[in-house]
Amino acid sequence: MGMPEFRSGWGNVRGLGGEGSCIGGQMLNDVWVNGWVFLLGTFGFLTLVLSGGELSLPDLGRRIFFDESLSSPVGQSCASCHDPKTAFADLRRVSPGAVVGRVGRRNAPSLMYAALIPPQKLEDTYDDEGEVEYIVEGGLFLDGRAHDLLEQVRAPFFDEKEMNNKDEEELARKLRRGEYGDEFREGLDAEVTRRAFEALVAFLREPVFRPFNARIDDYWAGDKEALSLAERRGLDIFETSGGCVSCHLTGAGTWLEPLLSDSGYDNLGVPSVGGVDLGLGGVTGLRGELGQFKVPTLRNVALTPPYFHNGSVGTLREVMEFYNKRDVERERWGKTDFPETVNREDMGDLGLSDEDISDLVALMDAFTDRHLLEMDEEEDFPKTPQGVPETEERRAFFKEKERPDLSRPRRPRAGSGD
pLDDT value of position 252: 74
Q: What pLDDT does residue 131 have?
A: 84
Provide the residue type at 46 as one letter. Answer: L
The upper half-sphere exposure of residue 296, i.e. CA atoms within 13 Å in the direction of its Cβ, equals: 20
Q: N- to C-terminal Cα distance for the chain?
A: 55
- Give the tens place of pLDDT for each residue, 4-63: 443 333 333 333 333 333 333 333 344 433 334 443 433 334 344 333 347 899 999 999
The residue among 66, 84, 91, 85 whose CA lies nearest residue 76 is: 66
Domain 215-368 has CATH 1.10.760.10: yes
What one-character-per-residue DSSP string does 10-29 give?
TEEEES---TT-EETTEEEE
User: Residue 183 in contact with residue 53, Cβ under 8 Å?
Assistant: yes
d(CA 346, CA 119): 26
Q: Which residues lie across from 266 on neighbouring strands?
A: 293
pLDDT > 70? residue 292: yes
Same fold, 59-210+376-394 and 215-368: yes
Query: Cβ distance 382 to 372 under 8 Å?
Result: yes
pLDDT in tens, 165-194: 999 999 999 999 999 999 998 899 999 999
Residue 1 has pLDDT above 60, yes or no: no
Is the separation of the CB atoms in 250 and 287 below 8 Å?
no
- What is the pLDDT, as a whole number, of residue 410? 81
Closest C-alpha to 41, from 26, 56, 31: 26
Residue 306 in this model has a pLDDT that exceeds 90: yes
Q: Give the per-residue pLDDT at 132.
A: 87
Q: Where are the alpha helices (DSSP H) in 240-339?
A: 280-284, 316-325, 330-333
Give the model's pLDDT for residue 413.
Answer: 58
| pLDDT tens-digit map of 60-111 | 999 999 999 999 999 999 999 999 999 999 999 999 999 999 999 999 999 9
CA separation for the pair 184, 175 (Å, rounded): 7
Pick the range with the lowest mean pLDDT from 82-96, 200-214, 329-343, 386-400.
386-400
Count how many Cα atoms sit within 13 Å of the Cα of residue 364 in the half-sphere of its side chain: 19
Locate the domains of the chain by residue range: 5-53, 59-210+376-394, 215-368
Average pLDDT, the chain: 87
Contact 259, 116 (CB under 8 A): yes
* Partners of 28 in beta bridges: 41
Question: How much is the pLDDT for 268?
Answer: 98
Q: Which CATH class is domain 59-210+376-394?
A: mainly alpha
Q: How are strands ordered across the β-sheet holding 11-14?
A: 11-14, 5-8, 47-49
pLDDT over 70 for what percent of the chain? 85
| pLDDT surpassing 80 at residue 412 | no
Angle between helices 316-325 and 354-365 (to 10 degrees): 140
**∠ at Cα 183 (180, 185), nearest 5°?**
110
Which of 369, 380, 395 lies closest to 205 in space, CA to CA? 395
**How far apart are the C-alpha atoms of 116 and 355, rounded to whole Å?**
34
pLDDT band with cut points at 50, 70 and 90 for residue 296? very high
Please list, in sequence order, all residues whose beta carbon lies within 8 angstroms of the beta carbon of residue 345, skipping any fewer than 6 positions away: none
Considering the entire predicted model, what is its pTM? 0.85
Q: Is the pLDDT of residue 270 over 90?
A: yes
**Residue 168 is which amino acid?**
E
- CB 107 within 8 Å of CB 270: no
